[in-house]
Amino acid sequence: YACAEGLLLPTMQDTGLAFLNATLDVKGPTRVGDTLHVVVEVVEMRLTSKGDRGLVRFANKVVNQRGEAVLEYNPLRLLKRK
């Protein structure tokens, strides 16, 4: 999880306001030497009452070099609108 968030957070550097919640499902082990990447899909978006920010739910899948999913989680974040 920490490695996945470290890969993703620079992409939200100017827009991320809050991490609200997530469910987390560990699918398999990660081992020393594994190469990981994160596949991200936006599954839900809605504006807040202020209108200058929105709630966005993602479906994140962490995949190793063999194409195996090792972790799936779906964070809900509060983001600034551009």
pLDDT of residue 16: 86
Give the Cα separation of 31 and 39 in Å (integer). Answer: 19
Mean pLDDT of 21-43: 96
pLDDT of 71 above 90: yes
65, pLDDT greater than 80: yes
Distance CA 31, CA 46 (A): 37
Position 82 pLDDT exceeds 80: no
Name 46's bridge partners. 55
Q: What is the pLDDT of residue 60?
A: 97
**Of the candidates 35, 31, 25, which has an alpha carbon nearest to the alpha carbon of residue 75?**
25
